[in-house]
Chains A and B, each alone.
Chain A
Amino acid sequence: MDRLIPLASSHRPLLRLGLLYTILGSYRQSATEGARSRNLRWLQRIPMAIVWGWFAVHADPAVATYLTIGVFFAVVWFEAVFVMGFSLTGEAFQGMIEVEITSPSGLMTVLFGKGLATAADAARTGLMSSAIVAIMSGLAIQIPQPPTFVASLVVAFVALIATSFVFAPLIVVVGGAAGFYNAIRPFGIVFGGFLFPISRLPETLQPISWFVPAAWSMNAMILTIQGAPLPDVAAHWVAALALSAVYLLIAWWCFKVVEKRILIHGSMTGA
């Protein structure tokens, strides 16, 4: 949007503060709207959590721990990628695109705030699912390095948000349509390593996961559970965060494409 509203360099801090306000405001708006339209989404995840819990019933503590944590991320992914993926088209449907695109903060900032609200909402359902798996596993959970574990959790959550967020503009740019997410959801779970380590994938398929930030963060999680030294874990955090940054850059570029299409053609698809 700098192109449209040139700002003197002295105004930059003000713009950054404005971006923060925008993120917070869109977060609050989306959280309020989400609370109204949450419907039965949380209830829909219970049967699947029971299925994952079944896998954890006789698993050893390390596996049960991994599954308990992984289910949280799998559920957040399941919810977030779907809701974020339709967020841009949803904004257009509600007639908000014009307002957002003319705002100095820009479309991406608004949708990032909404994406955070979606992730926070999904996290509640994820926690419920994790609790089900933990109970079914007989609470056979072991966390050898709590501080490292918490850091791994945070990195994994950041990676997951970055990956989900890219689908908001990407789906519009590539012309994706209804039903597309039914494949993206299991794709993320398989190649993101949420429920089993990537090393368990057939060797021919493993290279795909190198490009998924969550796969690196989940590997960090495994190393944490196994009590690996901090530098080994940290190397995976760095890889996950670097890839997440690349995903956010891709999202930024896709948003620019969408904004340009809207400004030139008056439509998101460029038609």
Chain B
Amino acid sequence: MSNLFTQIYLSYKALFLWLNWPGVIGNIVARPMLNVAMFSLVGRFAGHPEATQRYVLGMALYSIVEIVTGGVIQSFSYERGFGTLPLIYCSPASRWWIYAARSGMHYPNGLVCFVLSVTFGAIFLGFDYSRTNWALLVIAVIVVTLSSSAYALLIGNITLLYRNWTAIYSFAGSAILLLTGVLIPVSVLPVPLQALAQILPLTHGLEAFRAAFAGADITVATDALLWEIAIALAYGVVGFVSFRLIEEAARRTGMIEAGI
């Protein structure tokens, strides 16, 4: 267990290049709040004042995906860039823990981003929390952070094959922003995209999360939460299998990096 914590800590410290004061303040403190401000104010300006609450909630939850994905994807990329990937492949350590450890310290970052986003919404944008079901809210946030981590780990594998991690990060974030109902309701998307939305993280979590803010009972959101957990597990399994396949290919072809 102590090896796992060491792995989590070292992955974070060595492979998360936003871990400096300007980076932390910029990404974990300022960006989530500014994004909430940006989208909710554009929404008001564009004549959707009633939807402002929807945008604040969507962006608050999206802030979790944004920071977790950014952190985890760059961990994969820098593992390869800094030349430590061959050491991972040589190590006898459990591959599952190596894989999962990369998201360990990004998970709390996601929660911090979320808290700051909703606090900003309350102080500056007049967000109303009076009806919130706090128990459901906490469960929804924990589940979404879990599914976001699984999504980030799966996407992170791509950076072992393709160098430009910022492009992958951008596309991964855009897919969530565009398709899961963060800003644009899923129901107005073309039918194939609606189907795609159902298998992306956040879509169901957002449903439970919004129900929590509307004061709904936990039973109302049980299905959505179970779906979100199932999606997290599926991404976890597919991501880990991909990680192993890439390693196997690297061993088979003798190309440690981008072995496929």
- Nearest residue (CB) in B for A205 is B124
Contact call B124/A204, Cβ cutoff below 8 A: yes
Chain B residues within 8 Å of A18, by CB = none
> Is residue B46 within 8 Å, beta carbon to beta carbon, of the partner chain?
yes
Partner pick for B34 among A40, A51, A178, A190, CB 8 A cutoff: A190
Mark B25-45 against chain A: 1 for CB-CB distance below 8 A, else 0: 111011100110110011111
Contact call A51/B17, Cβ cutoff below 8 A: no
Taking Cβ atoms with an 8 Å cutoff, the residues of B that contact A are: 17-18, 20, 22-27, 29-31, 34-35, 37-38, 41-48, 70, 124-125, 164, 167, 170-171, 174-175, 177-178, 183-184
Q: Which of A58-66, A154-162, A261-269 lies at the binding interface?
A: A58-66
Partner pick for A196 among B41, B164, B175, CB 8 A cutoff: B41
A174 to B20, CA, bound (A): 13
Main secondary structure of the interface of B (DSSP, over half): helix
Contact call B177/A186, Cβ cutoff below 8 A: no
- Between A and B, 12 residue pairs with Cβ closer than 8 Å are A47-B178, A59-B47, A63-B45, A177-B20, A179-B22, A180-B22, A187-B30, A189-B34, A189-B38, A195-B41, A196-B42, A202-B125
CB distance from B118 to the nearest CB of A (A): 16
B-contacting residues, A37-62, CB 8 Å: 39-41, 44, 47-48, 50-52, 54-56, 58-60
CB distance from B131 to the nearest CB of A (A): 23
Partner pick for A200 among B30, B45, B171, CB 8 A cutoff: B45
> Is residue A182 within 8 Å, beta carbon to beta carbon, of the partner chain?
yes
13 new A-B contacts at CB < 8 Å, known A180-B22, A182-B70, A202-B125: A40-B164, A41-B167, A44-B174, A55-B42, A56-B46, A58-B46, A67-B42, A179-B22, A183-B26, A189-B34, A196-B42, A200-B41, A204-B124
How many A residues have CB within 8 A of the partner chain? 41
CB distance from B72 to the nearest CB of A (A): 14
Chain B residues within 8 Å of A175, by CB = 22
> Is residue A181 within 8 Å, beta carbon to beta carbon, of the partner chain?
yes
Partner pick for A178 among B17, B44, B47, B167, CB 8 A cutoff: B17
CB distance from A45 to the nearest CB of B (A): 9
